[in-house]
Chain A
Amino acid sequence: MSTFETSGKFFDGESAKSNAVAVSISPNGVLITGEGIDVNWPMDQIRNLADQARDKGMVIETLDHTTARLVLLDDAAGAYMRQHNAKLGKRHVSSIMKKRVAFWGVGAMASVYLIMFIIIPAMANTLAGYIPVEREVAMGKVALGQIEWLIGKTSDQDDLICQGAQGQKALDKMVARLTPHMDVPYPLDVKVYRSPMINAFAVPGGHVVLFDGLLAAANTPEEVAGVLGHEFGHVAHRDPTRLSLRTAGSAGILGLVFGDFSGGFAALALAETLISASYAQDAETNADAFSHDLFERAQLPSARFADFFSNLREDFGDQNGLMSHIASHPDLEGRQQAAMKADVIGDRTFEPVLTSLEWAALKRICTDG
């Protein structure tokens, strides 16, 4: 059998002394001999050290005696080792290590679940009630300012807020039709943004915003009133405040789990979307129910609100499955059916929210004035 003879430095793992040794490598193992040293390492037990800053040679160890080290000084010795030991780069993981990782892995997941989905939501719901109303209003103003700046930046709109006088009058009438039937701690502030997005949102403190794109997509004023009722529901339930408290609490956890940036950053963004969406689903369903209730009290048919969802479905398709989780709002079909079911007016006549002239003015709120 061919052997490879070379020299090396040997550290016995007992003292810091460096020993010059003769090394004889065969496919069976490595024989190390020197002054008072006569060691035989079986080949299948030998591993090399990875990621070493050395231009030539190799440092090897044996699994039987993990403190001893042999430094092979020339490249040919390293090449010989690689050729005769397929396990050279294989890392050994002890069974106790595997057990520990499994145990603490379960512990970590349980802990994250407990805080994210039980403790934080419960605390946020309770604490939201203790924030003074005037603070919430001021907080909302700051948030709204930031949102306006952001939308203005990305859509190149200088005058974001639509101010058509006739349209504003119609909007005020619509708000007045709904508000007598609800109990909110703040003054309501409703405006329209010049943006093609089909969307609406509420920020803490009673600020509600409709997008021009939503007005364009709606066929009747009742559809818009339904959306408005939904946003009023968020306001009445203090959802924006509860959600921002939850987000603040969970942001720290997500940072802890995913680290700071690069890969962590991408995961962080995705996880945050999913988490806040799952928090929000309940809130959305409740806001819809609030809107249905408002319609009943204001003697309006919520079937008209349902029309809004069927229009959207026709134009853009339903968002089922994964998308509806990411999109935070429940699927359109479900919302449409819920609105239909809640209708108490049926075929009876009702007083429309707006006259056709007022409705036309509201649709023009961003082009007038």
Chain B
Amino acid sequence: MQDIENNQFKVAYNGRKGPLFKIGLMTGLFTLLTLGIYRFWARTRVRKYMWSAIAPNEHSLEYTGTGLEKFLGFLIAVAVLAVYLGIFQLLLAFFGYSLFTQAETPGAVLVQQLIFYLAILVTLPLIYYAQYRARRYVLSRTRWQGIRFGAEAAAWGYVKLALKNLFVTVITLGILLPRQTFNLEKYRIDRSWYGNAQFAQEGTWKMLLPAMKQTYIGMAITLLGVILIGFGGYNTYTSGSFGDESGEGIGSMVFGFTVISLGYSWWLVGFQIYQVASWRILANHKTLGQAVTFESKVDTADVILAKVFGGMLAGFVALIVAAIFGGILGFALYGIFNSLDEAVGPQSGELRVALGTLLGYIIFFVAFGAIALVSIAQPILRNFASTLTIQNADQLAKIGQREGDDFVEAEGFADALDVGAAI
């Protein structure tokens, strides 16, 4: 919608449940039938629908990526990463086997965890690299009013910045997370373009602090629990034995664990709030071509509720669908099972269980995938899109086209490392 008086564009979300569900279900089944190969086309078709549903000033976004592009990216990622991943996993298994089968002492647990984190650390630069490149690919395949979006080729700088910021976040136990969020977003946004106009992220990281309020409270409660356990342990230790009649130390330890689980739950919800609230604050401090600004009124509760209820709904419906269709298929396969008895002998009991479980599992995931698109992804996207307005919109008409970005490997690496976008 165009509000000429205020010189602003409203963003509409025009997606519907029916068509999106149909795309999700058909592409999901096709992915199943092609043993996974169709997944690149499936993802692309869902994106085309969702992008075109987002309409600033009633003009749809357009996603111009193709399934073949993503498939090519996959081939490149396999060619480059297969050897690396194979050797890496084998070595990991070797060290796992030769050091500890089942960690029996706290020291063994610690070393095992260290190896695990070291393994992640080695992959971390690659992950950040892949994420930046994936975002650049998606932007370069996004258009609005015929004009391309785009991002600069600056993935290695991003890796350096991301590693530095992550380090600071980790050693401050997550307290300085807003600094990381802001710095990375600024790096990405300052290198993003719409046509020949450049985006900019204004503001400072400190403006994200209010969004962290509930996360900080959760952290404080957890810390309190840790202190209580420490005290409990100390009391038990000084009083000499666990059979101590007063039971003071044990009591405060149990209480401490309760406090920790409360703190952790609080932190989990708080973090969800942070993600939405920080997105809103950052959006409100973005500019395009030094003139166009944005205003987001996205509501944290709306998004979180959409996530929770949408997830529950999808899980519930998919479970019912899996039970019904699993039952029907099971009946249809009864004859096969019986001939299995004759062919394989009494071993088919295990095979029945395995086959039945596999069928139910596959049906559940295809159904869940399709339902989750309309019950989780679309409502969340609708929340973010329909609460956004674009200010000084008359400036947009002055923006011109930018060069296309020939991007051979698409999102291959991000997909391979499983760090791609959710949609």
Do A and B come together as binding partners?
Answer: yes
User: A residues engaging B (CB < 8 A)?
Assistant: 9, 11-18, 49-55, 59, 67-69, 71, 91, 93, 97, 100-101, 104-105, 107-108, 110-112, 114-116, 119-120, 123-124, 127, 130-132, 135-136, 138-139, 141-142, 154-155, 196-198, 213, 241, 244-246, 248-253, 256-267, 269, 316
The docked-state distance in angstroms from the alpha carbon of A107 to that of B353 is: 39
Q: Contact at B78–A132, with CB atoms within 8 Å? A: no
CB within 8 Å of A: which of B57-102?
57, 59-60, 62, 66, 68-69, 71-72, 74-83, 85-90, 92-94, 97-102
Main secondary structure of the interface of A (DSSP, over half): helix
The docked-state distance in angstroms from the alpha carbon of A14 to that of B146 is: 8
Residue contacts A-B, CB under 8 angstroms, 5 given: A18-B145, A49-B48, A104-B79, A108-B74, A154-B353
Interface flags for B9-49 (1: CB within 8 Å of A; 0: not) read: 00000111001100100001001111111110000010011
For residue B209, CB closer than 8 A to chain A, the reply is no
Main secondary structure of the interface of B (DSSP, over half): helix
Interface residues of B toward A: which range?
35 or more
Residue of A nearest to B66 (CB): A91
Q: Contact at B79–A135, with CB atoms within 8 Å? A: no
Interface flags for B94-126 (1: CB within 8 Å of A; 0: not) read: 100111111000000000000000000000000
Closest 7 CB pairs of A and B: A11-B146, A248-B93, A249-B90, A264-B36, A267-B35, A53-B53, A252-B89
Q: Contact at A13–B86, with CB atoms within 8 Å? A: no
Residue of A nearest to B78 (CB): A108
Q: Contact at B50–A53, with CB atoms within 8 Å? A: yes
The docked-state distance in angstroms from the alpha carbon of A114 to that of B68 is: 25
How many residue-residue contacts, CB under 8 A, span A and B?
235
Q: Contact at B48–A52, with CB atoms within 8 Å? A: yes
For residue B323, CB closer than 8 A to chain A, the reply is no
Q: Contact at A52–B60, with CB atoms within 8 Å? A: yes
Extra inter-chain contacts (17) besides given A15-B398, A135-B99, A256-B81, CB under 8 Å = A9-B59, A13-B401, A14-B401, A50-B45, A51-B23, A59-B62, A108-B74, A108-B82, A115-B83, A127-B94, A136-B97, A249-B87, A253-B86, A258-B35, A265-B365, A266-B32, A269-B358
Residue of B nearest to A92 (CB): B66
For residue B245, CB closer than 8 A to chain A, the reply is no
> Which residue of B37, B77, B97, B146 is within 8 Å of A135 (Cβ)?
B97
User: B residues engaging A (CB < 8 A)?
Assistant: 14-16, 19-20, 23, 28, 31-39, 45, 48-50, 52-53, 57, 59-60, 62, 66, 68-69, 71-72, 74-83, 85-90, 92-94, 97-102, 143-148, 194-195, 345-347, 349-350, 353, 358, 361-362, 365-366, 369, 396-401, 408, 415-416, 418
Which residues of A sit under 8 angstroms from B76, Cβ to Cβ? 104, 107-108
> Which residue of B33, B50, B60, B68 is within 8 Å of A97 (Cβ)?
B68
